[in-house]
Structure 1
Amino acid sequence: MMAAAGGCYLGVDLSTQQLKAIAIDDNLNVIHETSVKFDDDLPEFGTQDGAHVHSDKLTVTTPVLLWVKALDMLLERMKISNFDFSKLKSLSGTGQQHGSVYWKEGANQTLKNMPDDRSLHQILETSFAVKESPIWMDSSTTEECLQLEKSVGSPQNLADITGSRAYERFTGNQIAKINKKNPEDYKKTERISLVSSFVASLFLGDYAAIDYSDVQAWMVIMHLSLTGSVSPYYVKRFGFNSECKVIAFTGDNPASLAGMQLQQGDIAVSLGTSDTAFLWIQDPKPTLEGHIFCNPVDSNAYMALICFKNGSLTREKICDESASGSWDEFAKALKATCPGNNGNLGFYFDVMEITPAVVGIHRFNAKNCKVSKFPKEVEVRAVIEGQMLAKRAYAEKLGFKVCNWRTKHAKLAPYMEGEVNVLLRYVECSADVASHPQIELYLMTVDFS
């Protein structure tokens, strides 16, 4: 679809499994949407669910050039669909948090002088000191985490300073690991970007500043300025407006808080490859579970966040095993069982979890005895209730008072009927296991399929 006559704005999201873009006009009408799914559209990189899980089952990375080539493909698809880039007034976006990109010496000069007759991935093929970027799913930096916490006296001291204790996926620990285990690669690095500022850098043709809210997921406190206009490369190759401004990109979770227009007293639950529960707070009390970030909207407020690594992929696995891969059947099974699951409880950690730091499948019957399997209907409710109970438990640890409630309302994206039914049942499960009369529960972005 072509851009609106009055101008438009582009938003880009680099998530774990795909790169997405959405354009809106001056009246906030959506005028274009497109995406690139990494596994399907870029099979030459051999990713599964957008990542490489290494043999130790702890190291998880994504090839940097996959992300670069995905941007090539995204823009080409927009061009083929006759999107009018000349109407763009500004662009911004988000990226999966914690992931890091290591620019090789000389990369900035390459960015500043990109020839418009070549694709981005051809131009930047040799511009990265580390070919495989560590991402948020990585759990391989326990040693670095312990050293960091020891250096400041205790895990709680680190949380008081940065908003979080040391987590394996946090960028500072990933940098320390690379410096220790791959010192030659580290020496060749002239700049380190977060995923969000990496994409912004591609559009700028220069190293982009890091958003203040996203940088706390680095576990380094710093302040950098906003960015500038789009690189001449995009003006010549795609017809961008030379005055199109590149606004600093942020992390996906801060962007979600801003996009949902949360206020103090609101909670949002994001169901994706990882699940997150986040909320707006004024008086942060850092603990050893969860995180405190700068609020992306109000510089005088904060954002609390709890992240769970085993999210949509775990639900999808149970759907495949217990509902033949049908979300309609999954929803029926969920509806057929009662809240509380007759005392059956399950914890499903297919990969090393963040909160808590455990791995494995753990099922318990009503007598609190561990069992090896559940009936299919019980399994379906067990995974949903187990995930929601975890969100409640860790929210309470952060100081939230939880009592009996029902969901005030839920905002749902336009998904297929079967998936919506699952979402509605998820809302009801949420209401059964956790809430507060003054808290609104929003279900926002969902990645069931």
Structure 2
Amino acid sequence: MELQRGTNCERSHSERLYITHCSESGGEAAAQKDQGISKSRDDRCTNLLDKSAVGQSGRDTEDREDTCPSAGDATKQKLLKNQTQNLPVSSPVLSRFRLPAGTPGHAPSDSLLSRSPPVSLKLSALPLALSAHAPVLSMAAAEPDSPLYLGLDFSTQQLKAVAIDGDLGPVHQDSVQFDSELPEFRTHGGVHIHPDGLTVTSPVLMWVKALDLLLDRMKAAGFGFSRVRALSGSGQQHGAVFWRTGAARTLTQLDPGQNLHQQLTDSFSVQDSPVWMDSSSGLQCDALQEAAGGAMRLADITGSRAYERFTGNQISKVRQTRPDQFQDTERISLVSSFGASLFLGRYAAIDYSDGSGMNLLDIRDRMWSQICLDATATNLERLLGEPCPSTAVLGPVSSFLQHRYGFSGSCSIVAFTGDNPASLAGMCLHQGDIAVSLGTSDTLFLSLSEPRPSLEGHVFCNPVEPDGFMALLCFKNGSLTRERVRDRCCSGSWDVFSQALDGTPLGNHGNIGFYFDTMEITPPAVGLHRFDANDRQVSSWSPELEVRALVEGQFLSRRLHAERLGYSIGSGTRVLATGGASANRQILQVLSDVFNAPVYTIDLSDSACLGSAYRALHGLVADSGVSFLDLLRNAPEPQQVCRPHRSAPQVYDPMLRRFAELEQKVLEKSRF
């Protein structure tokens, strides 16, 4: 999601904008992801519940027993006992995981859960998939008084909301497009690109006004805010919000008779927030890495080397270039914790997972790194506040929202997180799974038990596993490069492209290609580089060899850099593919062979928003020991589409070693 530092001044406008696809679940699916509800997943639901489909998923029926394997023995006994009690059930959520009163939690008040009526769980319906045919879902299908769980996403180009019921089924969805529905802010793609071509910002009040518009629209549609038992959300990662001195008092004194944006107009010391597309803080990155003891040392601490878009470097730049505005700041939020603050009516803590994208958090200790804080700004810890677990219940919804929209006083706010961590939650990745979004830019997500930071990619704290981690890799040259080769070698036909993959052997006779039409992120290289079986550089291949070299080279690169971040192939490994190119079975077969793992397709076009709704539900029981995946175990499984050939390991394991050596040659050449 970032070009190599030092090349930013030479980037064109089009080269910078590719990153949008990474942040918003990227790829050819990006144009579809915000357009209503897809029925394709409904068509697959019955099959997923069938025993044969369960068997095909590679998971035993036994794994779906109604148990709570991650809770302690005492907790299990209490849960089972409560299940048998004849208590009134006011919700179709959490029946398998009833909690005793006074369950301890991370929230400031430990009694939030006990104040909520008993609730129950039936996890059988479908996750959300948005389509062009239903921009707003009716709540008529849901039981009139059944609890709901609300997820929001403050993304780059829009604000979205999804409400699910106890069956995980969507009952309401809506969105506000920043450019078209809030034209007074004059954004393009939700941002302002400044004349230097490097500075990229978004108006904070645009996000506030979008929330006003969204909630007003939901109220007009008859959405039952009083039924929302818990809510959570996500925000575009790395963006910073600077609250002006006195804003905390304003948040506690909001008048339900007025809109939020009218009352918060003077609450921000920096009106245009730096966002993740910004690449203007190179000097600050250099200073931070020097203070930390080098790029690798910084990555060991924070999970990433210094990136211009990361929040700590943006804070440092604001301090240096706008000292008066920085001096007038009493709190700094991420976009995610900013969103949570609007619902809490007070400042919300930054969660561990989104905090990992700041170059400030020690991802192992889950505390701010004093070295990084000192290198960024004086007394920065006071401005940031103490970080919190991603599963923390922060408190009840504000009295302002209770009176203005009818939220219940028992509605809990679960910590908001970044859009990428929320997408991992929305895809329900199991340990060992890897998600591959094949879009304009290819993006990889995976869960990790132990972090292995490197100079490429990112390691974050996992948003749904308290002691776990997640890795993220983004590759700029994805579907656009595949389309270019298709046009040149296959007369623009995907059928011919697929036939070329079918007609060439695994390993492509030893030929390896690197296809970087524009400066790549991982690795930071550019150009077209072809090598024959003897590692000699060649100028051309036949169209068939070119096609396979492209696809194999892309997936070898994905696997190589995922392994460098700690990914390893095991007997239960699954590759979950999404994005536009996931519709091409031949491409997926190469993906399966290179990773030596079965490939499944997953139809999640709005995984960050859905993941936020899932996390809201999970936040109510997380502190009892109930795991996220156990709670969502009956969510539909993705569909297996192909398995690796038996000969794949013998072909691609040694080929991967060759690929790594050749990539180093390409990198050395790209530096000149």
CA distance in 2, matches of 1:108, 1:384: 52
* Deviation sequence 1:31-59 (CA, Å, 0-9, x none): 11111222232233232222222222222
* Aligned residue number for residue 596 of structure 2: 436
SS in 1 for 2:400: helix
**1:267 aligned partner, one-letter code:** I
Deviation at 1:242, TM superposition (A): 2.2
* Deviation sequence 1:168-205 (CA, Å, 0-9, x none): 11111111111111111111111111111011011111
Alignment of 1:147-186 (within 5 A): 147-186=287-326
**1:53 aligned partner, one-letter code:** I
CA distance in 1, matches of 2:181, 2:550: 30
Contact map agreement 1:276 1:305 (CA 8 A) in 2: yes
Name which of 45, 49, 53 aligns with 2:193: 53
Alignment of 1:4-83 (within 5 A): 4=143, 5-83=145-223
Contact map agreement 1:283 1:302 (CA 8 A) in 2: yes
Contact map agreement 2:345 2:397 (CA 8 A) in 1: yes
SS in 2 for 1:277: strand
CA distance in 1, matches of 2:264, 2:549: 46
Which structure is higher in RCO with an 8 Å CA cutoff and minimum separation 6? 2
* Aligned residue number for residue 92 of structure 1: 232
Contact map agreement 2:481 2:517 (CA 8 A) in 1: no
SS in 2 for 1:228: strand
TM-score normalised by length of structure 1: 0.81
| Root-mean-square deviation over aligned CA pairs | 3.7
SS in 1 for 2:226: helix
SS in 2 for 1:213: helix
CA distance in 1, matches of 2:199, 2:482: 24
Alignment of 1:29-428 (within 5 A): 29-221=169-361, 222=367, 223-225=386-388, 226=392, 227-270=394-437, 275-308=442-475, 310=476, 315=479, 334-335=497-498, 337-338=500-501, 346-349=515-518, 354-357=521-524, 362-363=527-528, 388=555, 390-398=557-565, 400=567, 410=576, 422=583, 427-428=588-589
Distance 1:426 1:385, change over 3 A: same
**2:596 aligned partner, one-letter code:** H
For this pair of structures, how many residues does the alignment match? 424
CA distance in 2, matches of 1:272, 1:204: 36
CA distance in 2, matches of 1:79, 1:208: 25
* Deviation sequence 1:230-283 (CA, Å, 0-9, x none): 112212222211221111111122222233222321111245786431212223
* Aligned residue number for residue 416 of structure 1: none
CA distance in 1, matches of 2:591, 2:335: 31
CA distance in 2, matches of 1:423, 1:284: 33
Contact map agreement 2:591 2:599 (CA 8 A) in 1: no
**1:106 aligned partner, one-letter code:** G
Unaligned runs of 5+ in 2: 1-137, 362-366, 368-385, 607-672
**1:23 aligned partner, one-letter code:** A
Contact map agreement 1:272 1:445 (CA 8 A) in 2: no
User: Identical aligned pairs, as a percentage?
Assistant: 49
Contact map agreement 1:229 1:244 (CA 8 A) in 2: yes
Deviation at 1:147, TM superposition (A): 0.8
SS in 2 for 1:22: strand
**2:230 aligned partner, one-letter code:** S
**2:181 aligned partner, one-letter code:** D
CA distance in 2, matches of 1:317, 1:203: 42
Contact map agreement 2:433 2:575 (CA 8 A) in 1: no
Deviation at 1:144, TM superposition (A): 1.0
Contact map agreement 1:318 1:379 (CA 8 A) in 2: no
Deviation at 1:387, TM superposition (A): 5.5
**1:59 aligned partner, one-letter code:** T
**2:387 aligned partner, one-letter code:** L
CA distance in 2, matches of 1:274, 1:109: 43
Distance 1:435 1:12, change over 3 A: same
The range that moved more, 5-14 or 271-280, is 271-280
**Which structure has the highest strand share of the two?**
1
CA distance in 2, matches of 1:233, 1:381: 58
Deviation at 1:317, TM superposition (A): 10
SS in 1 for 2:304: coil
Distance 1:163 1:365, change over 3 A: closer
SS in 2 for 1:206: coil
CA distance in 2, matches of 1:52, 1:424: 39
Contact map agreement 1:330 1:380 (CA 8 A) in 2: no
Deviation at 1:345, TM superposition (A): 5.2
Contact map agreement 2:451 2:565 (CA 8 A) in 1: no
Distance 1:427 1:69, change over 3 A: farther
SS in 1 for 2:465: coil
* Aligned residue number for residue 96 of structure 2: none
Contact map agreement 1:322 1:379 (CA 8 A) in 2: no
Distance 1:176 1:354, change over 3 A: farther
**1:65 aligned partner, one-letter code:** L
CA distance in 2, matches of 1:118, 1:77: 15
**Which structure has the highest helix share of the two?**
2
Deviation at 1:162, TM superposition (A): 1.6
Contact map agreement 2:424 2:445 (CA 8 A) in 1: yes
* Deviation sequence 1:400-446 (CA, Å, 0-9, x none): 4679x9x9564669xxxxx58746565345336x4133x76665655
SS in 1 for 2:595: coil
CA distance in 2, matches of 1:46, 1:144: 29
**2:458 aligned partner, one-letter code:** H
CA distance in 2, matches of 1:379, 1:112: 62
Distance 1:67 1:299, change over 3 A: same
**2:400 aligned partner, one-letter code:** Y
Deviation at 1:150, TM superposition (A): 0.7
CA distance in 1, matches of 2:515, 2:303: 30
CA distance in 2, matches of 1:47, 1:87: 35
SS in 2 for 1:90: strand
CA distance in 2, matches of 1:51, 1:333: 39
Contact map agreement 2:440 2:480 (CA 8 A) in 1: no
